[in-house]
Amino acid sequence: MPRNVSDNGRIDLRIPAAQKAVIARAAALSNVDLTEFVTRSALRDAQATIERAEHLALSERDSLRVLDLLENPPAPADRLIRAARSGQTLA
């Protein structure tokens, strides 16, 4: 998780002048100011990163296996039955 995140709405960045010039040019070509351009770009990448991290993609084979296990669960192992009866954990 991020460190030192304040709630004042500011993000301070230090980047080489050449990189800033490229970003400023792209912002001008998009007819937005530098803050708007950087915010849009960062948010788009942040949302894509979060999406990849929070979603699991299964192959068709794996999806069918999960559905089969949900519809036809295996019988519980003896150890699980004993733990359930005694109120113990399996750890």
- 44 lies in some domain: yes
Count helices and strands in the chain by DSSP H and E runs: 4, 0
C-alpha span between 46 and 52 (Å, rounded) = 10
Q: If you average pLDDT over residues 75-80, what whole number do you get?
A: 91
51 falls within a domain: yes
69 within domain boundaries: yes
Position 41 pLDDT exceeds 70: yes
Total tally of structural domains belonging to the chain: 1
Q: Over 70: is that where the pLDDT of 6 sits?
A: no
Position 11 in a domain:
no
Percent of the chain with pLDDT over 90: 69
Q: What is the structure's pLDDT at 91?
A: 62
Degrees (nearest 5) of the Cα angle 37, 42, 45? 130
Cα–Cα distance measured from residue 45 to residue 55, given in angstroms and rounded to the nearest whole number = 16
| Residue 10, domain member (yes or no) | no
- Whether 72 is covered by a domain: the verdict is yes
Grade residue 51 by pLDDT with cuts at 50, 70 and 90: very high
Segments forming the whole domain that contains residue 78:
17-86
* Averaged pLDDT for residues 33-57: 95
| 30 belongs to a structural domain | yes
